[in-house]
Copies of this chain bind each other. A is one copy, B any other.
Amino acid sequence: MQGNMMPVPLTIPFILERARTIFRNREVVSLLPGGRNQQGQPVPQRHTTTYGEVADRALRLAAALQGLELTPGDRIATLAVNSFRHLEAYLGVPSAGFVLHTMNIRLHPDQVAWILNHAGDRVLLIENVFVSMIPALQAACPTLEKIYVLGDLPEPMPGVESYDEWIMSHTPLERYPDIDENDAAGLCYTSGTTGNPKGVLYSHRSNVLHSMACAPKDALNVGERDTVLPIVPMFHVNAWGLPYTCTMYGARQIFAGMFTDGRTIAQILQDEKVTIAAGVPTIWLGLQNELDCARTAGTPYDLSRLERLIVGGSAAPEALLRGFQSHGLHMTQAWGMTETHPVATVSFLPPDIDPTSDEGFALRAKQGRIVPLIELELISEEGELVPHDGKTMGRLLVRGPWVANQYFRGEGQGSFLELGGQQWFDTGDIATLDERGYMHIQDRSKDLIKSGGEWISSVDLENAMMAHPAVAQCAVIAMDDPKWDERPLAIVVPKAGHSVTHEQLLEFITPKFAKWWLPDATVLTDHLPIGATGKILKRELRQEYRGYGSGQFPQRNDLT
């Protein structure tokens, strides 16, 4: 027997309508590039608008798109930084019945073209700072029919129009098309550290449910009184859904665009009275450094309004959480993937645990507990369920209404498996789950070090070494070993003006690990290779260093 409830679909127009009506006076701030300074670096120019204006322009964009000869479900690509225009695309493209395809601006133009062609994008909205890519894309992408430039168009280009002029020549859409809640709304490609990038196709329903799941205080704690700075880019997993969550709940949004260095971020957090900010560990390391310097200089920033820093994208070491706590700032860890929209777990604490106690920090350094409607499981290499005892590692599986059930165009089938009659996504992570539900990622399965048939977590070792006062960055990888198959090797970037030896590092981390977990050697270097989404490219490190222990390692001038 079915219930007698209205079959109202969960669609993005509900979010747009809240911006257009009850939150229409709420502010949206963007830092746009406003010329260059003497060093040739872009200078931020503060732009303010309101949700009402954004909604009006999003509806003009929707009408403009409907004026093109497109088919519902066609992909509209963006190559854009965080700004109010990108937010207009978030709201307007799906509300017109099309799919918003956000592309990573840090990729090589060849990769951009590959993804554009794979997605079959028919329209591209491109930030004016990237116009130099246009001719190559036009040449390489036959499905791409229309290109609109966000911001001032520096000079006329063939086949390229101004986004602002285009949308403002249309009146706002008066009636939304019929949208099924399972219709596609967004497309985002995984960073693709192995193989070609794979597309994750979000639905209206998944976007709406994810937005609702993120708002409560035990998730991201978003409300109308908040000012939210999503430093995480809008081209990467929808900036963790924050543009949608913030619009649904009327939070003031600050878009920092291309300005994400520690000093600019600190200044924005202070000047805009930000209450919630979200970013990857790399961003927060930069901020922490800036805050430390300012404190040392006796001119600390006033961040008294800042209630929560959200960290995700890769594991946040406990030292990072403690470092921010020393500034009175609370950092909350969240975990997810492009395939999970991304928020699946948040490291919120039960009421009996003090967040600033040792136990509190230890729990907050885990990836956290599931938000409603998400399920996690662990399986062994044999595919058997593994106990949730906080110790036994297993491959992490995830399931939920905002988790992918396949990749775009059916690729990557091996990542989806059936268990107990239900479909699960295999994250490729190795994790533990404890009795209270805390999930702790031990490693990417490909980054695990398999020593004598046992697993060693590179992430655990890295986090422990990161707490050493002389370590700026650190990666632990497997090197080949004739006896144990693989052994851990630490690759460390010391802090400026510091040095550290292998023995000092071992002495520092020995109390925390079994002896056989300890790295056999440490290499000092001046930088680690970083990929387009800000993660360390361990694949490259492994290629370079896998023969280190056998003496096959090529000579190089290590820093000492």
Contact A5 B372 (CB under 8 A): no
8 Å CB interface, A154-213 against B:
180, 182-186, 200-206, 208-209, 211-213
A408 contacts which of B4, B25, B370 (Cβ < 8 Å)?
A: B4
Residue of B nearest to A202 (CB): B3
Given A3-B205, A183-B3, does the pair A21, B437 have CB atoms closer than 8 Å?
yes
A465 within 8 A of B: no
Contact B223 A3 (CB under 8 A): no
A423 within 8 A of B: yes
A368 to chain B, nearest CB (A): 10
Given A208-B373, A224-B350, does the pair A6, B401 have CB atoms closer than 8 Å?
yes
Given A184-B1, A369-B22, A372-B18, does the pair A6, B224 have CB atoms closer than 8 Å?
no
Chain B positions within 8 Å of A201 at CB level:
1, 3-5
A373 contacts which of B1, B8, B350 (Cβ < 8 Å)?
A: B8
Interface flags for A348-384 (1: CB within 8 Å of B; 0: not) read 1011000000000000000001101101000000000
A399 within 8 A of B: yes
A405 contacts which of B7, B18, B203, B403 (Cβ < 8 Å)?
A: B7
Residue of B nearest to A182 (CB): B2
Chain B positions within 8 Å of A10 at CB level:
209, 373, 401
Integer count of this chain's copies in the complex: 2
Chain B positions within 8 Å of A221 at CB level:
217
Choose among A180, A224, A404 the residue with the greatest number of B CB atoms under 10 Å from its CB: A224
Contact A399 B5 (CB under 8 A): no
Contact A73 B224 (CB under 8 A): no
Given A402-B5, A404-B4, does the pair A249, B185 have CB atoms closer than 8 Å?
no
A5 contacts which of B22, B223, B403 (Cβ < 8 Å)?
A: B403
A216 within 8 A of B: yes
Choose among A5, A21, A99 the residue with the greatest number of B CB atoms under 10 Å from its CB: A5
8 Å CB interface, A215-233 against B:
215-218, 221-225
Residue of B nearest to A6 (CB): B405
A interface majority secondary structure: loop
Chain B positions within 8 Å of A204 at CB level:
3
Contact B212 A223 (CB under 8 A): no
Chain B positions within 8 Å of A399 at CB level:
6, 8
CA distance A116 to B406 in the complex (A): 47
A123 to chain B, nearest CB (A): 15
A217 contacts which of B72, B223, B404, B408 (Cβ < 8 Å)?
A: B223
Given A5-B202, A184-B1, does the pair A249, B22 have CB atoms closer than 8 Å?
no
CA distance A458 to B307 in the complex (A): 44
A373 to chain B, nearest CB (A): 6
A127 to chain B, nearest CB (A): 26
A108 within 8 A of B: no
7 inter-chain pairs at a CB distance below 8 angstroms, sorted by A residue, are A1-B73, A3-B185, A4-B184, A5-B401, A22-B436, A212-B212, A252-B351
13 new A-B pairs (CB below 8 Å) besides A1-B73, A14-B372?
A1-B72, A1-B183, A4-B408, A5-B401, A6-B403, A7-B182, A8-B399, A17-B375, A25-B436, A211-B372, A212-B212, A217-B217, A249-B372
